[in-house]
């Protein structure tokens, strides 16, 4: 079943591309009221700050970059970003967040932005060919089923230069049930599958795994020293370094 769901997961995000940001920006079915929304944005800001604290790098690889809500931050801390996703539809939206329409306006903001190379690829059939100073992923690891985690982390290790960093951010199993859409079913603690709906009611099954602090030991098995942090109700992040050798 899982392989079929992983194909469905790609189809879901392709179909959802134009409405994806309603989730991150708390619009429509994801609007849980001013107080909850304010907390969400404050926690997102905490994660952005943690990413910036990880420091500047020359090269960054972003896995499952999506519509660019973190690519737009990575371009401020890296000289070059490679952003990979299975969906051309989200890549098209991502481009709009990383390339200012008017180069003069970017200069007047006084902000240096990285160049971005986009790659369309399926991460379950992916072999990295280069090494990066930073490998980053947001809201991706939760879509990797446990039986594919080791293979995926091996590829992440290959993509990280010795001494390079890994940064992951994803969803906490939030007790308020306000991280997802108001018409989505509650997560079943016994299942890695979740049914998602688009605005038009179309349904897809995806994988959603709430990896917890045990990830630190798993990352150690793959040659990373890492620490695990939470922002409150909504997000966890792990930041680590690939051991040399």
Ligand X SMILES: C[S@@+](CC[C@H](N)C(=O)[O-])C[C@H]1O[C@@H](n2cnc3c(N)ncnc32)[C@H](O)[C@@H]1O
Q: By CB under 6 A, which span of 5-13, 174-182, 211-219, 231-239 interacts with ligand X?
A: 5-13
How far is the C-alpha of 210 from the C-alpha of 229, rounded, in Å?
Answer: 14
Strand 235-242 and strand 160-171: the pairing is antiparallel
In the complex with ligand X, the residue whose CB is nearer, 14 or 80, is: 14
Pairwise CA distance, residues 174 & 15, whole Å: 25
Q: Is position 74 an interface residue for ligand X (rule: CB under 6 A)?
A: no
Among 44, 57, 123, 153, binds ligand X (CB under 6 A): 123
* One of 44, 51, 65, 238 touching ligand X (CB under 6 A): 65
- For ligand X, the binding residues in 34-53 under the rule CB under 6 A are none
Beta carbon nearer to ligand X, 51 or 219: 51
Q: Does 180 bind ligand X (CB under 6 A)?
A: no
Q: Angle, to 10 degrees, between the axis of helix 2-16 and the axis of helix 88-98?
A: 50
In order, the DSSP letters of 96-131 are HHHS-S-HHHHHHTT----EEEEEE--GGG----S-
Rounded least distance, CB 24 to ligand X, Å: 6
139 near ligand X, judged by CB under 6 A: yes
* Contact range with ligand X by CB under 6 A, out of 58-66, 74-82, 152-160, 231-239: 58-66
The answer to whether residues 86 and 119 touch, using CB atoms and an 8 Å cutoff, is no
**Distance separating alpha carbons of residues 116 and 127, to the nearest angstrom:** 20
What does the alpha-carbon distance between residue 210 and residue 197 come to, in Å, rounded to a whole number? Answer: 20
d(CA 217, CA 107): 44
- Tell me which stretch binds ligand X (CB under 6 A): 50-58, 79-87, 154-162, 208-216: 79-87
Q: Which stretch binds ligand X (CB under 6 A): 31-39, 80-88, 213-221, 232-240?
A: 80-88
66 makes contact with ligand X (CB under 6 A): yes
Cα 120 to its chain centre, rounded Å, is 15
Site residues (vs ligand X, CB under 6 A) = 6, 9-10, 13, 64-67, 69-70, 85-87, 90, 122-124, 138-140, 143
């Amino acid at each position: 079943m899982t392989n079929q769901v992983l194909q469905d997961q790609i189809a879901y995000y392709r179909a959802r591309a134009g409405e994806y940001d309603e989730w991150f920006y708390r619009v429509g079915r994801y609007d849980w009221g001013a107080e909850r929304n304010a907390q969400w944005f404050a926690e997102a800001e905490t994660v952005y700050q943690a990413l910036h604290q990880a420091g500047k790098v020359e090269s960054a690889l972003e896995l499952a970059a999506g519509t660019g809500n973190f690519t737009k931050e990575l371009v401020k801390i890296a000289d070059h970003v490679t952003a990979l996703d299975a969906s051309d539809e989200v890549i098209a939206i991502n481009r709009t967040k990383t390339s200012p329409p008017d180069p003069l306006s970017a200069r007047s903001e006084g902000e240096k932005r990285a160049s971005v190379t986009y790659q369309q690829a399926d991460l379950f059939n992916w072999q990295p060919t280069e090494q990066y100073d930073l490998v980053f992923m947001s809201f991706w690891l939760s879509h990797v089923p446990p039986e594919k985690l080791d293979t995926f982390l091996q590829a992440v290790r290959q993509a990280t230069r010795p001494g390079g960093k890994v940064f992951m951010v994803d969803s906490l199993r939030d007790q308020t049930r306000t991280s997802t859409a108001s018409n989505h079913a509650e997560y079943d603690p016994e299942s890695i599958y979740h049914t998602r709906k688009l605005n038009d009611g179309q349904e897809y099954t995806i994988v959603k795994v709430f990896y917890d602090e045990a990830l630190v030991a798993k990352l150690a098995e793959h040659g990373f020293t890492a620490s695990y942090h939470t922002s409150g109700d909504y997000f966890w992040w792990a930041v680590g370094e690939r051991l040399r050798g």
